[in-house]
Amino acid sequence: MRPVYMVSGGVSKFAKARPDATFQKIVKESFDYAMNDVPKLKHSMIDGSVVSYFSDHFTRQLMAGIMATDYLGLCPKPNKRIEGGGATGGLCFQAGWEAVASGRMNVCAAFGFETMSHVPTWKGNEFIALASDVNFDYPVGGFYSGYYAMMVNRHMHEFGTTVEQLAMVSVKNHMNAYGNPYAQKRRKLTIADVRNSAMVAYPLTLLDICVMSDGAATCILADEETAFKLTDHPVRITGVGTGTDMMRMSDRPHGEVLLAPNEKKSDYRNLKYPGVHSFRAGRSAGLQAYRMAGITDPLKQLDFVELHDAYTSSEIQTYEDLALCKYGDGGKFVEAGYPFMPQIDYGMKLPKKGTLPVNPSGGLIACGHPVGATGLMQAVFAFWQIQGSIKKHYGSPELQLKKANRGLIHSHAGTGTYVTVSIMERGW
Amino acid sequence: MAKKNPVERPAASSKFEEMMTGTTVFNVPLPADLKTLKGMSPIVIKQPYNIDYIHSYGQDSPFFAGLSNKKLLGTKCRKCDYTWATPRLACTQCGGETDWVELPQTGRVHTFTTCYFGGEEFLKETPFHLVLVEFDGVDTLFLSRLLGPEQPEDIKIGMKVKAKFRRNSQLKPTDVYFVPAE
């Protein structure tokens, strides 16, 4: 396998609705952004592309992928559509990595989109719930917020996680997004605001849950030689991992923990795993990526994480899957302040503030979750963070981390059905 | 001191609900100057999409036949004895073939939630409780509705529940639901 670098990225502004543009034009906005950011890259140098969008129901257009691709002028070169629920964008990023790592392409464009405003919110929730078993799960009252609420109630039962700890994730991510002009929701909140917003699925409130978005994102990936010709600051992808689990969460086993290098069997004597409180796919993806990147102590060896916080609860569950803390300690991890940004005032006492910032961009909760774009959006925000170019792209250096040499991006589908983890590092 | 309402009553809404109904339009104006067209507002239309599928439950059909006869059926692996509360004819633990078995009709709440919103199809049924039920001697869980408790605070993990069946089967997994057993 050849080393693979990200040389450029671009996003559209994430918005509740973009009636002014079709999906092709929104993709083009993110693609042009990426192309303009690396002027040495000529359109003719792109060998092919991969495209991702989640739902044919939202677009009501089959083969929308090729329509985005032809709009970008990338025909007759290779292209394929990648789809895997909420992890669609992360899978697309890794498909682009595969195209370059294998030697099939020297330069690959990976782009994704979703236009969720084309149906009312509750119809959109129905579409998303069709990504659960339509024989046994969906007809019972299919609603993803309900599924995640069941998982967090079990997490709270097993480990003592509290709703205030969940709310802290929402405060953090909304506050971070305040400095990100591409984010959909930029709000300064308190724990009380989160708890007092409308109850959606007990105990998750409206502000514990990400929103539907229209948006697109593009990543340009290249082999080593091409990467350094194009930019002095390429970001190397040093690890990739992809995990899976059974579609029906009722079918998940109650067995033994998949141990991370910094854990031992005796840490989890009475824990039945993954049950419905943990994501085995996330742990599996993380361990693969860590092995490839040579990471044995992620809390120390990572500088930041962009993870799939579709729910505040899933961010806490994911700290544990990624072995940033032990299983069961996710609530305490956020309460102590580990995942907060060091330079931002959240109006809370956080003794460990800034140890390992998680979702410096604002995450899905605040940026929005245009599904097919989301995993790529995370890669773009991580790329800028590692390049040290946050000021250039956000218009303010507020969200730039001082040390951002190595980041992790995490994309997640279903009730933890597909999960991708990719490690990105300063390449120069 | 704030005045108290003499009777509880809903507050008047401060904004209109977004509707999917509107006016039928057969023409829109077009500016004469083509240079202005890129600044034109988008045209947004309603596009209906309705389908009736011919959906087969295939090898899982006996589960639904069981519900309509007030039986809860799962499957058990011939090779490793793993027992599935939600049936599958191939055991994903060992790859073995499974056989149909009858499940107990009492179990415990493994976890729960109360949905105050939902997908459009279920919005009119909110609020409702979802539960994952665990059964003695069964390795996996079963997703169902819980009826009876009024509030989520009235539901406890570990509480005993029993199955009840609709009198007129709809051949859907909601032909069975659970209620508190005590």
Nearest neighbour of B122 by CB, restricted to A141, A147, A253:
A141
Q: Give CA–CA dist B52/B182, Å, rounded.
A: 41
Option in B47, B92, B113 nearest A201 (CB)? B113
Q: Which residues of A touch B142 (CB under 8 A)?
A: 250
Neighboring chain A residues of B49 at a CB cutoff of 8 Å: 60
Mean pLDDT of the A352-359 span: 98
Residue B81: partners with Cβ closer than 8 Å, 6 or more residues away: none
Asked if A142 reaches chain B (Cβ–Cβ under 8 Å), the answer is: yes
Q: Which helix (H) or strand (E) holds B108?
A: strand B106-115
Distance between CA atoms of A136 and B181, rounded to whole angstroms? 23
Nearby residues of A227 by Cβ (< 8 Å), 6 or more positions away: A5, A7, A234, A427
Contact at CB, A199 and B116, closer than 8 angstroms = yes
Q: What is the 3-state secondary structure (H, E, C) of A20-62?
A: CCCHHHHHHHHHHHHHHHCCCCCHHHCCEEEEECCCHHHHCCC
Least CB–CB distance from B115: residue in A127, A201, A248:
A201
**DSSP symbols for B36-90:** GGGGSPPP--------------GGGHHHHHHHHTT--EEEEETTT--EESS--SB
- Give the pLDDT score at B49: 87
For A27-66, the pLDDT digits (tens) are 999 999 999 999 999 999 999 999 999 999 999 999 999 9
Q: How far apart are CA B118 and CA A125, in angstroms?
A: 7
| d(C-alpha A372, C-alpha A128), whole Å | 13
- Between positions 81 and 140 of B, the ones with CB within 8 A of A are 84-86, 88, 92-93, 110-123, 125, 128, 130-132, 139-140
* Pair A27, A218: CB distance under 8 Å: yes
Q: How far apart are the CA of B3 and the nearest CA of chain A, in angstroms?
A: 22
| Domains delineated in chain A | 4-118 (3.40.47.10)
* A248/B86 touch (CB, cutoff 8 Å), yes or no: yes
pLDDT level of residue A88 (50, 70, 90 thresholds): very high
Q: Which residues contact A143 (CB under 8 A, 6 or more apart)?
A: A125, A129, A201, B115, B117, B118, B119, B122, B130
In this prediction, residue B9 carries a pLDDT of 81
Helical ranges in A198-296 per DSSP H: 224-230, 280-293
A126 vs B119, B140, B142: nearest CB = B119
Nearest in space to A310 (alpha carbons), one of A187, A179, A145, A200: A145
B59 CB within 8 Å of a chain A CB? no
CB contact under 8 A, A153 and B112: yes
- Report the pLDDT value the prediction gives residue B2, as an integer from 0 to 100: 54
**Better-predicted residue by pLDDT, B19 or A347:** A347
Mean pLDDT of chain A: 97
* Disruptive mutation site among A61, A123, A128, A136 for chain B (greatest number of B CBs within 10 Å): A136
Percent of chain A with pLDDT over 90: 100
User: Hey, what are A221's tokens?
Assistant: 């990936």
| Helix pair angle (A163-177, A312-321), 10° resolution | 100
Sequential pLDDT tens for chain B (182 residues): 555 556 778 788 888 887 888 889 999 999 999 999 999 999 999 988 899 999 999 999 999 999 999 999 999 999 999 999 999 999 999 999 999 999 999 999 999 999 999 999 999 999 999 999 999 999 999 999 999 999 999 999 999 999 999 999 999 999 999 999 97
Question: Two tokens at A148?
Answer: 């995640």
To the nearest whole Å, the CA of A205 is away from the closest chain B CA by 10
Domain ranges in chain B? 58-180
Q: Which residue in the set B41, B111, B122 is minimally distant from A150, CB to CB?
A: B111
What does the pLDDT read at residue B18?
Answer: 78
As given in the structure block, the two tokens for residue A82 are: 């990648």
pLDDT score at B17: 80
Beta-carbon pairs below 8 A across chains A and B: 131
Q: For residue B117, list chain A residues with Cβ-Cβ distance below 8 A.
A: 122, 125, 143, 145, 200-201
Is the pLDDT at A94 greater than 70? The verdict is yes
Over residues A1-18, the mean pLDDT reads 97
CB-CB under 8 Å, B115 with A157: no
Instruction: Verify whether the Cβ–Cβ distance B132 to A202 is below 8 Å.
Output: no
| Closest to A235 (Cα-Cα) out of A221, A214, A225 | A221
Say whether pLDDT at A6 is over 70.
yes
Say what the pLDDT of residue B15 is: 87
Give A126's contacts in chain B (Cβ within 8 Å): 119-121
pLDDT at position A301 = 98
Confidence of residue A325 (pLDDT cuts 50, 70, 90): very high
**pLDDT of res. B11:** 84
For testing the chain B interface, which of A137, A250, A276, A277 should be mutated: the one with the most B CBs within 10 Å?
A250
Q: What is the pLDDT of residue B8?
A: 74
